[in-house]
Amino acid sequence: MLQIDQIKMLVSEQTQEEKEFLQKQILKLLHVSLKEIVDWRILRKSLDARKKPKLYWIYRVAVTLTDEKTEARILKSRKSTFVTAYHPVIYQPPVFKMQGREQLQDRPVIIGTGPAGLLCGYQLACQGLRPILIERGKCLEQRKQAVEDFWAKGKLDQNTNVQFGEGGAGTFSDGKLQTQVKDKTGRIHHILKTFVEHGAPEEILFLSKPHIGTDLLAVVVKRLRDHMTAMGAEFYFETKMTGLVIRQNQICGVRVMDRQGERIIGTDCCILCIGHSARDTFLTLYDQGVKMENKPFAVGLRVQHSQELINEVQYGEGWKKKHLPPADYKMSYTVKSGRSVYSFCMCPGGYVVNASSEPEKTAVNGMSYHGRDSGNANSAIVVTVDHTDYGEGIFDGMRFQQELEHSAYMQGDGKLVLQRLSDFTAVSSGEDTENRQNKLSPKVKGQYLWGDIRGVLPDSLSQDFKDAMQYFGTVMNDFDRPDTILCGIESRTSSPIKMIRGEDFQSNIRGLYPCGEGAGYAGGITSAALDGVKVAEKVIMLYNKSICATT
């Protein structure tokens, strides 16, 4: 196979279909006829806006020719440095040696059904290990209704909300799938391909910034569950892990509580995919001897702008005629205090959502549907914090989050508090009204009011936020415009703790596998799913080793 890089299509001169354009470019660059091509496909597609208003789509494609000798001749001639041999990396998972056996003495138990838990469970189910997945929240169909009710009426279900329930916190997020993780094993492509096989659009396999959206992600999650169930996996919803059964430093079972009461599920393998908001579970695990430490994270406020403003800044004039996707941005700045301030979870065409999961504590997040067509862009602008801000104790960071969330709750009496940037930075106290003329209207999921949120962040962090917003306004025109809408608190950028695990991915307790974002080893849908796949590999290899030792 051959690989062709840097095929450029000027967006403003796009007069033909993408497939037709690329096919012509392939024939031109390889100097072959159409009948000599067996197949070709897009490997990567990205938008280059560095020379706006001239914008380019940049492609990488793979091509298979009818004759390998022709491929060799093309590579030898080297008429273009952008034509090289293509060697696809195909993910090869470890194979469970007892695949197909109907019963195992101890089936693996997974706590949590977010991206880490689902992909870990999927890998195990594919190998015939029939995992049991425990989820404190409801199944997706019932969860969606509970979340909609909370947004409309403000009545919180502590076990089923934006954080908890089938699909995890990622289900009610922007659904971005890009990750900073470098992967030479093919695992990430395998994960994206798994999503596509269960309902995600095929474009996520090649877009440089793949995105599903909460509406399509819900479809993928349900189809994954149905497929896993058909392979022997079991899902226990509205079932909460209340403790571990440990004998001689080895997992022997998991205590769970459901509507029928408390019971024990016997297992010698428990995978903790509990998410970054399972604070009560953190405490339970620590009390049972699971080693962990506090870790840095970031807190801040959500900012909303007009999506048209972001598009114009990123794409230049005339962007409306170019049929481009809603633009995103990425910002970072080191302020005078030495802290880093950066944009987090940027949601083009999205909504700010009430993502609370505890009584009298308010947390926000960003969410979008696949169409990204709300009309507003939003992002968290967050400031890094560490033990020097909240203390050395294991749970000091977690309690710092809770204090900020309680303050935000009290400011709005349970509703989200919105404030214009002009009022947030003003010296005197000011309350804004929603109906001022020529001002941006909010796009929010959940009850809200206009008020003053300046007291939610500590003074030093508020100043860092203001300094960064002023700087970002010099980098991106009008980013700090007065009618920018702020909302808080964005407190759950990542887990406040990290569970210690070894090279075999087990904690200090044998058979216990901390996994994903809640354990401190991921930061988003794809990286959490990736960690779930890695843990599944370790579990399969351990089962194989155990089988070899007993035969």
356 vs 548: CA distance, rounded Å: 47
Calculate mean pLDDT across residues 521-538. Answer: 96
Structure token digits, residue 17: 């279909």
Tokens 């993780």, residue located: 181
- pLDDT value, residue 318: 78
Angle of helix 140-153 relative to helix 214-230, nearest 10 degrees? Answer: 150
Which is higher by pLDDT, 545 or 220?
220
- Based on the domain organization, do 360 and 373 belong to the same domain? yes
DSSP string, 77-124: H-S-TTEEE-------PPPPTTTT-S--SS--EEE--SHHHHHHHHHH
- pLDDT value, residue 428: 46
β-pairing, 416-420 with 485-490? antiparallel
Tokens 């579990």, residue located: 539
Alpha carbon of residue 299 to chain centroid: 17
- Based on the domain organization, do 185 and 223 belong to the same domain? yes
- Based on the domain organization, do 141 and 243 belong to the same domain? yes
> Is residue 94 included in any domain, yes or no?
no
- Report the length, in residues, of the chain: 551
Structure confidence by residue, pLDDT tens digits, 128-177: 999 999 999 999 999 999 999 999 999 999 999 999 999 999 999 988 99
- Based on the domain organization, do 194 and 268 belong to the same domain? yes
463 vs 450: CA distance, rounded Å: 21
421: number of Cβ within 10 Å: 21
518 vs 528: CA distance, rounded Å: 9
543's enclosing H/E stretch is helix 525-550
CA–CA–CA angle 193, 524, 208 (5° rounding): 55
Q: Which of 93-102, 308-317, 503-512, 538-547 shows the lowest per-residue confidence on average (mean pLDDT)?
A: 93-102
- pLDDT value, residue 164: 97
Tokens 């609370």, residue located: 356
β partners of residue 51: 54
DSSP string, 136-160: SS--HHHHHHHHHHHHHH----SSS
User: What residue numbers bound the domain in which 74 lies?
Assistant: 2-85
CA–CA–CA angle 442, 485, 421 (5° rounding): 160
> Is residue 244 included in any domain, yes or no?
yes
**Measured CA distances, 209 to 89, 184, 221 (Å):** 20, 18, 20
CA-only gyration radius of the chain, Å:
25
Mean pLDDT of the chain: 93
270 vs 115: CA distance, rounded Å: 16
Given a cut of 60, whether residue 330 has pLDDT beyond it is yes
CA-wise closest residue to 389 among 494, 299, 291: 299
Structure token digits, residue 371: 């169409």
**Measured CA distances, 207 to 182, 189, 202, 346 (Å):** 16, 12, 9, 17
> Is residue 95 included in any domain, yes or no?
no
pTM here is: 0.93
- Based on the domain organization, do 341 and 303 belong to the same domain? yes
> Is residue 321 included in any domain, yes or no?
yes
The answer to whether the CB of 448 falls within 8 A of the CB of 418 is: yes
Structure confidence by residue, pLDDT tens digits, 338-390: 999 999 999 999 999 999 999 999 999 999 999 999 999 999 999 999 999 99
- Based on the domain organization, do 140 and 279 belong to the same domain? yes
Last residue of a domain, one of 465, 490, 515: 490
CA-wise closest residue to 539 among 91, 128, 115, 90: 128
369 vs 541: CA distance, rounded Å: 38
Q: What is the 3-state secondary structure (H, E, C) of 296-338?
A: CEEEEEEEEEEHHHHHHHHHCCCHHHHCCCCCCCCCEEECCCC
> Is residue 536 included in any domain, yes or no?
yes
- Based on the domain organization, do 275 and 286 belong to the same domain? yes
Helix (H, G, I), strand (E, B) or coil at 398: helix
Structure confidence by residue, pLDDT tens digits, 31-88: 999 999 999 999 999 999 998 888 999 999 999 999 989 999 989 887 778 999 999 9
Calculate mean pLDDT across residues 296-325. Answer: 91
- Based on the domain organization, do 258 and 406 belong to the same domain? no
Q: What is the CATH number of the domain that holds 71?
A: 3.30.70.2700
Structure token digits, residue 485: 């809408």
- pLDDT value, residue 97: 80
The answer to whether the CB of 345 falls within 8 A of the CB of 190 is: no
Structure token digits, residue 236: 């226990």
- Going by the DSSP 8-state scheme, the letter that residue 243 receives in this structure is E
356's enclosing H/E stretch is none
Alpha carbon of residue 208 to chain centroid: 15
317: exposed, middle or buried (Cβ count in 10 Å: 0-12, 13-18, 19+): exposed
- Going by the DSSP 8-state scheme, the letter that residue 196 receives in this structure is H
- pLDDT value, residue 104: 56
β-pairing, 292-294 with 132-134? unpaired
How many domains is the chain partitioned into structurally?
A: 3
Structure confidence by residue, pLDDT tens digits, 433-460: 444 445 899 999 999 999 999 999 999 9
14 pLDDT tier (thresholds 50, 70, 90): low
157 vs 136: CA distance, rounded Å: 11
230's enclosing H/E stretch is helix 214-230
> Is residue 96 included in any domain, yes or no?
no
- pLDDT value, residue 435: 45
- Based on the domain organization, do 53 and 147 belong to the same domain? no
Beta-strand (E) ranges in 452-516? 485-490, 497-499, 512-514
**Measured CA distances, 390 to 234, 247, 404, 518, 520 (Å):** 41, 35, 12, 19, 18
Last residue of a domain, one of 70, 85, 100: 85
Structure token digits, residue 122: 């999927």
547 pLDDT tier (thresholds 50, 70, 90): low
Calculate mean pLDDT across residues 200-210. Answer: 95
> Is residue 9 included in any domain, yes or no?
yes
Structure confidence by residue, pLDDT tens digits, 255-291: 999 999 999 999 999 999 999 999 999 999 999 999 9
Calculate mean pLDDT across residues 320-347. Answer: 93
- Based on the domain organization, do 191 and 322 belong to the same domain? no
Structure confidence by residue, pLDDT tens digits, 387-428: 999 999 999 999 999 999 999 999 999 999 999 999 999 854
Structure confidence by residue, pLDDT tens digits, 15-34: 678 999 999 999 999 999 99
- pLDDT value, residue 429: 45
> Is residue 93 included in any domain, yes or no?
no
Q: What is the CATH number of the domain that holds 187?
A: 3.50.50.60
Given a cut of 60, whether residue 101 has pLDDT beyond it is no
185: exposed, middle or buried (Cβ count in 10 Å: 0-12, 13-18, 19+): middle
487 vs 446: CA distance, rounded Å: 12
- pLDDT value, residue 183: 85
The answer to whether the CB of 310 falls within 8 A of the CB of 514 is: no
- Based on the domain organization, do 273 and 182 belong to the same domain? yes
237 vs 456: CA distance, rounded Å: 35
- Based on the domain organization, do 344 and 265 belong to the same domain? no
